[in-house]
Structure 1
């Protein structure tokens, strides 16, 4: 299988280069220092800026937007980028809210195929995600993961989890879909008034999922840069240390995977 080139830009934001396609996940390019509200009394302050500015990333053919309702996955500068992208693939509710001609909303397990002159077709499949404990959907909103399939290949060249806890929907992904590279959103997000309740995977949950999924490479992202992350890189590295196939990206530095 041809390699992917990944460049982690900070938070969830990762540039994926494959077969001439430039694919960006969850664009966040605002400067650090600002506090953002996430609704229902939750908020977080951004403490790290992007490894590269937004203008240095152009052109972008595809944006995979796991959800639009939280600024740590789509901030103001990221929203400005959406209009410049060829196609934005997101959730059905996000497509309604964004209401732009280049945005496609996918339900769980729905696919769309992208074509461009001089490049092989690229199929994007939406996968289940749950951004918190059971019954948290009305509060946290709909989230998708996304899988990229090259033309003629059954296995996903790349699967991004989106912001999610480990639950049966992710286990279904592991059962149904062979994955080459797994881009895992970690960080163990918690907020003060919600106590021990987590809204994204911990590294131990990422380890459990990886053992079920068995991808060739695991790439952790979205575990630092905001005050609501409670499991930083050193903790995640320790939890995932028994995996031989973990690749930690250096922000701003392209890596062939």
Structure 2
């Protein structure tokens, strides 16, 4: 049995599956905080699927990018469960989770996560047969530059993720750029389980003691704090995470 925890956005989603089928999923957009609803949802899901915690073989969690607070809560819960139950912990990038919402399409899948200030975190995917392949790793880009770039390429593209609110007005009259239906736009724990299969098969586990969210860039609060205390802290010249600018980048065509 595998438990998946997805809290990278305002959506709270948990799912449990065995080696053959999805046993249950709870996905909620109710406006409550993850700290209020995540643990109760896990307890409810395990009770309704009649799965004991002792039966869990591993915990899978969305590792980001996404909501700074949501990622911390989801990852903290997953780490605590993995440590307490002595089971493996697996982290999967939110972009991979979103891309798995769209099965076997001939379109390019563009995952977009709201990065605030008219920017999005974006990544590009395509299917090679039944296998989903990442065309381009996540990058931060303004919404208008992303649409300009994809419009120029001319390939059929479908968008998923909460960054759609940034790009929707820009694609209204562009025939080959499509927005997924609402039920496919949000990250779901069931898609997280699909995206985790290769990691589980390869045994690519995380250490609960040192696993951290993948933010791509720092939160606004951290930037403001550093600016306010710039005379009190040592600023490292090399960033801990590289931000890939989209300008001038092209994805390979196969």
| Structure 2 length-normalised TM | 0.32
Relative contact order, higher structure (CA 8 A, sep 6+): 2
Indicate the structure with greater strand content: 1
Rg comparison, structure with higher value = 2
Indicate the structure with greater helix content: 2
